Amino acid sequence: MRRRQQPPLPKRHGLDPARLRLPEDGQWATIRDHLVERLPRVPAARIDELLRDGGIVDLAGPIAPDAPYVPGGAVWFHRDLPDEQIVPFEITIVHRDDDLLVVDKPHFLATIPRGQHILQTALVRLRRELDLPDLIPAHRLDRVTAGLVLFIVNPARRGAYQTMFHKRTVRKEYEAIAPFDPELTLQRTVRSRIIKEKHVLAAQEVPGEPNAETEVELLEHRDGLGRYRLRPHTGRTHQLRLHMNSLGIPILGDDFYPVLTDKSVNDYTRPLQLLAASLEFVDPISREPRRFETTRTLQAWTDHAGWAG
């Protein structure tokens, strides 16, 4: 396996610098000219400022404002970060050793940087708060889903633990709060074909060979609400939310299914009542069985009066 090239800039705010490879067939006179064309969302004046301040580098060091274009070369720089509202919820550490970190992620906190969520993500927060610059997630949870996420502390173990999730040898259980339907027979397995189109927020179930499978079990019910255990056997986008909706019992707080609502990304009221409750697997290094359980409970079940009906 070819080793990943070490960036010539250190991490900033727990983030690696961006790397841009310069095309082999480039005809630009300078690197600056290429960057202005390559990065249309970055003002030319900002690129000039970064070059003057030594903020754009190659393996030899800072690039001069008039440095000639080098076909096939590469440059690194730190992107300007978007303004972010602080997500006012803590990450709970469930387990930590030399190889693994297991945490309980709160609702509304993304797992990894993406789009407008950079510093306010579980990965960046944990890298900074725990001084673990090489921390990497073994898998992800949706921003609106709370619960267990496993991170890899030791870079040498990255492949072994990520492979568990890719091969689906990790047994995952979720809890969800949704309406109770006395006419619905549970336990059952839901199978369907789910597709997610790029740039479309919601996924959808379509006719065809099933590619998504979820076991749904009713654990208890009261006051018109049910507490459900969900065991996904596949990992399609929004699979659990779509399968609960297809049963006629959409998860409480779901702003996508059955109807996409226009809720502000910074509205922290009525979180999706979905919780990654347990992770269980045979450790690929020690060969010992391991099981981790959430420390969290779902708001609608502990304070259900405002959610029923």
Of 50, 77, 104, the residue at which a domain comes to its end is 77
Show pLDDT as tens, one digit a residue, over the chain (309 residues).
445 567 889 888 888 899 999 999 988 999 999 999 999 989 999 999 999 999 999 999 999 999 999 999 999 999 998 888 899 999 999 999 999 999 999 999 999 998 788 899 999 999 999 999 999 999 999 999 999 999 999 999 999 999 999 999 999 999 999 999 999 999 999 999 999 998 898 999 999 999 999 999 999 999 999 999 999 999 999 999 999 999 999 999 999 999 999 888 889 999 999 999 999 999 999 999 999 999 999 999 988 666 654
Q: Give the amino acid at 16.
A: D
pLDDT on residue 263:
86
pLDDT on residue 7:
86
Within this chain, do residues 41 and 158 fall inside the same structural domain, yes or no?
A: no
CATH number at residue 231: 3.30.2350.10
Of 10, 45, 77, the residue at which a domain comes to its end is 77
Indicate left, alpha or beta for 115 from its phi (over 0: left) and psi (-120 to 50: alpha).
left
Within this chain, do residues 229 and 101 fall inside the same structural domain, yes or no?
A: yes
Between the CA of residue 45 and those of 29, 66, 247, what are the distances in Å? 18, 14, 55
The token duo for 227 is: 């507490």
CATH number at residue 69: 3.10.290.10
- The verdict on residue 87 lying in a domain is no
- The verdict on residue 167 lying in a domain is yes
Within this chain, do residues 251 and 150 fall inside the same structural domain, yes or no?
A: yes
Closest CA to 233 of 221, 216, 248, 218: 216
pLDDT on residue 1:
41
- The verdict on residue 99 lying in a domain is yes
Of 49, 77, 105, the residue at which a domain comes to its end is 77
> What is the pairing mode between strands 146-152 and 274-282?
parallel
**What does the radius of gyration of the chain's CA atoms come to, in whole angstroms?**
23
d(CA 258, CA 194): 15
Within this chain, do residues 137 and 193 fall inside the same structural domain, yes or no?
A: yes
User: Around Cβ 142, how many Cβ atoms within 10 Å?
Assistant: 17
- The verdict on residue 204 lying in a domain is yes
Within this chain, do residues 150 and 216 fall inside the same structural domain, yes or no?
A: yes
pLDDT on residue 17:
93
Our CA dihedral for 233, 297, 271, 226, rounded to 10 degrees, sits at 70
Within this chain, do residues 153 and 37 fall inside the same structural domain, yes or no?
A: no
pLDDT on residue 14:
84
Within this chain, do residues 237 and 277 fall inside the same structural domain, yes or no?
A: yes
Within this chain, do residues 33 and 132 fall inside the same structural domain, yes or no?
A: no
Within this chain, do residues 67 and 96 fall inside the same structural domain, yes or no?
A: no
Within this chain, do residues 263 and 139 fall inside the same structural domain, yes or no?
A: yes
Within this chain, do residues 29 and 101 fall inside the same structural domain, yes or no?
A: no
- The verdict on residue 7 lying in a domain is no
- The verdict on residue 145 lying in a domain is yes
- The verdict on residue 84 lying in a domain is no
- Provide the number of structural domains found in the chain: 2
Between the CA of residue 241 and those of 21, 190, 238, 246, what are the distances in Å? 39, 12, 5, 9
Note down the domain range covering 62: 18-77
Q: How far is CA 221 from the centre of its chain?
A: 31
Within this chain, do residues 293 and 206 fall inside the same structural domain, yes or no?
A: yes
pLDDT on residue 174:
98
- The verdict on residue 1 lying in a domain is no
